[in-house]
Amino acid sequence: MKLAFIFPGQGSQKVGMGLEIAGKFPCVREIYDKADEVLGFSISKLIKEGPVEKLKQTVNTQPAVVVTSIAFLEVLREKGLDCEITAGHSVGEFTALYCAGVLSFEDCLKVTRARGEYMQEAGIRHPGTMSAIIGLEVPAIEGICEKAGKSGVVVVANLNCPGQVVISGSIESVKEVGNIAIEQGAKKVIPLAVSAAFHSPLMDEAAGKLAQKLDEVKFLDARIPVVSNVSAEPVTNGEEIRDLMKKQISSRVMWEKSIKKMQSLGIETFIEIGPGKALSGMMRRIDRKAPMLNLEDIKSYENLINKLNLTPV
C-alpha cells in the first residue's frame, strides 16, 4: 500500500490537543519536552492548559500545531510505518519537511516560531482577513477579486477542494468580494477566524523576513518527495525547497492539485497526522472514494492500526 502523510496547518489547534496520545506514548511526551527546550518556553503547557486566546496567537499557534503533528508522526514511526510522499497545508508544510528529513527538529520549530512572529507582526501593521467562498468557480472569484482589488488588496489564497476557495486581503476588500460572490450565486461565504491576510501580498513583509531566516537554516535533500504548496509538484532538492518555502508565505496554497498529483503518482491511502480533521474534510470533496485515515487521538489511532493491520501497543 502506497501511503502519503499529510499535515494540517493553522486553524486546527485546540487547547488539550495531544493529551490523550501523550498519556499513552512516552515518545510524544519526549517531543513536547524537547520542544520546550528548543523554544525556550513551555509550549507544552500552553498546548495542555491554554489559555485559548494565547494559543490562538499566530506566533504560538504555528509551532504548537507543528510540534503536535511531529509528536503524532513519531508514534507511527515507532510502529515502523513510513510513507512514499508527504505534504502539509500552509505551516503544515514545515512538518512535512521534518518528515522528509529536510529540516531538523530544532530548525523546524525555530523557523515556524519565527514565521508565526513575522506573520503576526505583518497582520498588525497591515490588517486583513480571510473568507471561504462556497459554490462559485475559481475564474468567477478571481474576476471579482480583480474588481475589488482596485480599492484594496484581495486575492485567491487557497484552492483547497472543489467548491471551496479561500480569499485573503484587506478587511473591506474581502467583505466586498464576499458580498458580490453571494450576488453572483455563491452558496455561502464563511469568514475565517484568522488574525491576518495569510497567503496574500499583505504578507510580503513577513516573507522578506522569513527568507532571511530560512537562509540561516540547513536544508537537506529530501529522503522522500515533498509536494510543494506553491507548485503542487513533488520536490526533493533541498535548495529548491528552500526557494519555494520563501515564496510560500505570500503565495496561493494549491492543495487540491497537490492531492491529485499524489494520486497520479500512485498513492492509495492518505493519513492526516495532527490535530483536527480539516484535511480529511477537504479530501471528501476532492475524492470521496480515496482511502483516508487520521491520527489525532486514541480512537483514531486504534482505527488506523486496525485498518493497516498494525500491532497495537
What residues are labeled active site? 90, 199
What are the φ/ψ torsions at residue 287 (nearest 5 degrees)? -155, 95
Place of cell 494559543: 55
Q: Between the CA of residue 136 and those of 132, 166, 201, what are the distances in Å?
A: 10, 11, 23
CB atoms within 10 A of CB 37: 11
C-alpha cell at 230: 506553491
Q: Which residues contact 159 (CB under 8 A, 6 or more apart)?
A: 138, 165, 252, 253, 254, 255, 256, 257
